[in-house]
Structure 1
Amino acid sequence: MSFNPKTLYFGYGSNLCKQQMYARCPENKFLGTARLADWRWIINTRGYANIVPSQDDEVWALVYELSPADEDKLDIFEGVPDSYVKQTVPVEYYGKKGYGEMRDGKRMVDALVYVDVERVTEGPPKTEYIRRMNAAIADALTEGISKTYIEKYLRPCIPVQETTRKSK
């Protein structure tokens, strides 16, 4: 019998939306928030969220624990390897206890992140992505990601739009 470890996933774009994550990855477990230092959130020329290295910037995300089956599903949704590649990065973790280790006075975890390494310049968002990102922003705010972060990084690219969400 082989052991399949769970993956901690750093969801920074439309996967900030918990409803979307449960639809894509039904076995996921939401754990909390995390911060990635020295990266910046953008909408790239494909019209979707991406993160790029950028000193003195930061990216906030929701962290989910994924089963191997859910990680495989998410790879398909994220278009691995054509649209995004998978990287594992250390992030400052603010979620449920029992995860991470203290490094330099911060609780850190190594998390999976999807990065588009080919399209790293900014562009306009796809029209359908604006709706999904507004739902994602609502969940991000509910889960404690600051309005200051949202206004500085996400709102310049994602206009406010009314969202209609079905309840579970």
Structure 2
Amino acid sequence: MSSDKLTLNLSYGSNIWMDQMKRRCPDSRFIGVAKLEKWRWIISTRGYANIVPSEDDHVYGFVYALNERDEKVLDGFEGVPLSYTKHTLPVELTKGVDGHEDYTYTKEGKTLLDVMVYVNTRDIKDGRIQEEYIHRMSQAMADGLKEGIPKEYLDKYLVSFIFAGDGEE
């Protein structure tokens, strides 16, 4: 990765699929698995992943370090600023790779990072997944499970949206 200014990004949708992320952002570096408290994962009415504030829920995702070029590319995929906007939020690193210490701080015994998260603040209702998104999210869930996202989380939040089509439009 070049010496550009780096942005830490929490990916919670199809960019958990490491192959897709590498194709989109070839210089990105996987930092680890993180947990965002007080947010809930949904498939929005647009048919893609989003997160919404929710006091009793949490979201798991992958943290990537992005250089400026890769961040701009990812902004394009996320439709910034028309669809998603960028928010800086603290997350707890639950599993980090070697070198993650360069990005973290400790508070109340937790290893934390401040990350940029893409959020669509207008499209906040549950919807049905886009057909083309099912494969990408299936790959993302497989990589998530392999890298340490808890199976219980995937079962509770993602499986019903992706495979059962339980969202309402």
Alpha-carbon separation, structure 1, partners of 2:107 and 2:4: 26
Instruction: With the length of structure 1 as denominator, give the TM-score of the two structures.
Output: 0.91
Structure 1 stretches lacking a partner, 5+ long: 161-168
TM-score by length of 2: 0.91
Matched, 1:123 2:123: no
1:45 aligns with 2:45: yes
AA of the residue aligned to 1:159: F
Map 1:12-23 → 2, pairs under 5 A: 12-23=12-23
Partner AA of 2:87 in structure 1 = Q
Q: Which residue of 2 aligns with 1:103?
A: 107
Measured against aligned partners, the alpha-carbon deviations of 1:129-159 in whole angstroms (never above 9, x if no partner) come to: 0111000000000001011000000001011
1:57 aligns with 2:54: no
Q: Which residue of 2 aligns with 1:142?
A: 146
Q: Separation in 1 of the partners of 2:106 and 2:5?
A: 21
Kindly provide the CA deviation profile for residues 90-146 of structure 1, in whole angstroms up to 9, marking residues without a partner as x: 000131331211111111100010000010000000000011100000000000101
Residue 81 (structure 1) shift: 0.6
Match of 1:133 among 116, 137, 148: 137
Instruction: For 1:45 and 1:81, locate their aligned partners in 2 and report how far apart those are by CA, in whole Å.
Output: 18
Instruction: State the one-letter code of the partner of 2:53.
Output: P
Query: Unaligned regions of 5+ residues in structure 2, if any?
Result: 165-169
Query: In structure 1, what is the equivalent of residue 70 of structure 2?
Result: 70
CA distance in 1, matches of 2:160, 2:107: 33
Q: Which has the higher helix share?
A: 2
Identity %: 50
Matches of 2:53 and 2:145, distance apart in 1: 24
User: SS at the partner of 1:158?
Assistant: helix
| Structure-2 separation of matches of 1:144 and 1:100 | 18
The whole-number CA distance in structure 2 between the counterparts of 1:23 and 1:79 is 17
Work out the CA distance in 1 between the residues paired with 2:4 and 2:104. 18
- In structure 1, C-alpha distance between the alignment counterparts of 2:107 and 2:118, rounded to whole Å: 23
Query: How do residues 75-94 of structure 1 correspond to structure 2 at under 5 angstroms?
Result: 75-94=75-94
CA distance in 2: counterparts of 1:7 and 1:104, whole angstroms: 24
Question: The residue matched to 1:155 in structure 2 has which SS?
Answer: helix
Aligned Cα root-mean-square deviation (Å):
1.2
Question: 1:33: which partner in 2?
Answer: 33
Query: How many angstroms apart in 2 are the aligned matches of 1:32 and 1:90?
Result: 14
Give the ranges of 4+ consecutive aligned residues of structure 1 lying more than 6 Å apart after TM superposition.
Answer: none
